[in-house]
A and B are shown apart, each in its own frame.
Chain A
Amino acid sequence: MMDHRPSNEINSGLVGEEPLNEQESPALLAFTQELEALLGPVPPREERRARANRSAFLTAAADQFTTPVPAPARWQGWWRRLLLQGTTLVLFFSVSWMSARVASAGSLPGDTLYPVKLTVEQIDLLLYDEAQWETQVQSQRLSEVLTLLQSGRKAEVEFQGTLQQSSDGSWHIGGIALDFDPEKQILIQHMCGPVRVQGVVARGEFQVLYLTPSCLSLEAPEHLLSPIPTPLIFPGRDGAPSSEPINRYLVS
């Protein structure tokens, strides 16, 4: 910047270590004033060239600094990257989750995607009310068995429902007819609560392998306490709540 101090102030340091003689001093002081007047004004910079020079400097700087990130921006950049990666992950899992859900929704026991469907249901259990979830899942299992029966495909299935006896004496769970050995009839009659059914669907027929009742009625005959397989402990038989596993009855 130009210094506009008075000449005599600037020239106060003129003499320095070499004293001027008396004749030379006033002449030199006058000369310095003339110099200031002559050296002071400078023609203005040509705007176009000055701008071009500035651009060239900044372009060269940009080329030189391949990663021109100042310290604060570097810190911000770290958070931006983290946020971007987080968002990408969330998006990825959301899309994957939705795709798996849609793709496996129509799968049946024995299909490749069926385990995915069961996993999706387990995750749903974390999001929804348990009773509502249980009802939906059991309804879904029954629906799958009916579809398999209609299609004639073969698959192992497992579902749960309440045993009901028709007027003709046949037994059903959720609309699916079950065929039992007459010897097991007495056992079936004493089952209570929801019954878990495991079996095989093949050629449009359902073959029951195991029935697992929630409880047996108090009036059940004593010999039913030792059916196949043994040992058997019937939860709720003595009227008290029990955490023992539910027993299975081999029916065929």
Chain B
Amino acid sequence: MTSDDTALLERARGGDRHALAMIYDEYSPAIYRYLYRRVGNTGLAEDLTGQVFLKLLEAFQRDQLWNSSFRGWLYRIAHNLVVDHYRKQGDRNQVELEETLESDDLGPEHGAELTIRFQKIRGALNTLTEEQAQVILLRFGEGLSNREVGEIMARSEGAIKALQHRALSALRRLLLEEEVEG
């Protein structure tokens, strides 16, 4: 967290509306992307994004301090909300993908193929442990480094590398099994 971010957080903690808006604008897009990749539904991802930032206000009220990474804290809250969501829903493997992935470079057929593939990956991600799914999304979805993911997950860089390896192997095996079954 930079000194500017720290100052921004301090102002937001004091109730400065401008600082609160800046924090929302800076961090909400990444949290939304992370949540979308976890739940595969834009509406639900948006709702959960809103909840993450309401949790932030509660943290301000409790005078909670972020000694390590504020961004990591936001991802952790987002992750916990996803876990709660699936717990309430009862079926973690339910695929909620509604939208077709869009890309200017892809034709409609290729786009549909990508969507099906993404659905499969999401389904497989949901069978991984929470930590494995989180490390895959942060590394390959958000493009964060091992160090950054380590900060977010409160783990060492080495532990993240090992976790990432296990997650990738498990995910690939699950997808291969699915293809063989299919």
Footprint of B on A, CB under 8 Å? 1-5, 10, 13-18, 20, 24, 27-28, 31-32, 35-36, 38-43, 45-46, 49-50, 53-54, 56-58, 60-62, 64-65, 67-71
The answer to whether B142 touches A3, judged by C-beta atoms less than 8 angstroms apart, is yes
The answer to whether A32 touches B20, judged by C-beta atoms less than 8 angstroms apart, is no
Residues of B within 8 A of A4 (CB): 143
Could you write out 23 A-B pairs with CB less than 8 Å apart? A1-B30, A2-B142, A2-B143, A10-B140, A14-B165, A16-B164, A18-B165, A31-B172, A35-B121, A35-B171, A38-B117, A42-B36, A43-B42, A45-B32, A49-B43, A53-B50, A58-B17, A60-B54, A61-B15, A61-B57, A62-B17, A68-B15, A70-B16
Q: How far is the CA of A27 from the CA of B175 in the complex (A)?
A: 13
Looking at the assembled complex, report how far the CB atom of A13 sits from the nearest CB atom of chain B, in whole angstroms. Answer: 4
The contact of B169 among A28, A50, A62, A69, by CB within 8 Å, is A28
CB-defined interface of B115-150 with A at 8 Å, one 1/0 digit per residue? 001100100000000000000110111111110000
Q: How far is the CA of A203 from the CA of B8 in the complex (A)?
A: 84
CB within 8 Å: A-B pair count: 143
Residues of B within 8 A of A39 (CB): 37, 118, 121, 136-137, 140-141
Q: A39-B141, A54-B24, A67-B15 are in contact. Are A17 and B161 (CB under 8 A)?
A: yes
Q: How far is the CA of A64 from the CA of B169 in the complex (A)?
A: 46
The answer to whether B162 touches A32, judged by C-beta atoms less than 8 angstroms apart, is no
Closest residue of chain A to B161, judged by CB?
A16
Number of residues of chain B lying within 8 A (CB) of chain A: 58
Closest residue of chain B to A20, judged by CB?
B165
Q: How far is the CA of A62 from the CA of B161 in the complex (A)?
A: 42
The answer to whether A46 touches B43, judged by C-beta atoms less than 8 angstroms apart, is yes
Q: How far is the CA of A64 from the CA of B166 in the complex (A)?
A: 43
Q: How far is the CA of A245 from the CA of B59 in the complex (A)?
A: 81
Footprint of A on B, CB under 8 Å? 11, 14-17, 19-21, 24-25, 28-30, 32-33, 36-37, 42-43, 46-47, 49-50, 53-54, 57, 60-61, 99, 101-103, 114, 117-118, 121, 136-137, 139-146, 157-158, 160-162, 164-166, 168-169, 171-172
Q: How far is the CA of A211 from the CA of B99 in the complex (A)?
A: 110
Residues of B within 8 A of A68 (CB): 14-17
The contact of B162 among A5, A18, A67, A70, by CB within 8 Å, is A18
Q: A39-B140, A43-B99 are in contact. Are A15 and B46 (CB under 8 A)?
A: no
The contact of B21 among A20, A58, A67, A70, by CB within 8 Å, is A58
Residues of B within 8 A of A43 (CB): 36, 42, 99, 101-102
Closest residue of chain A to B106, judged by CB?
A41
Q: How far is the CA of A41 from the CA of B101 in the complex (A)?
A: 7
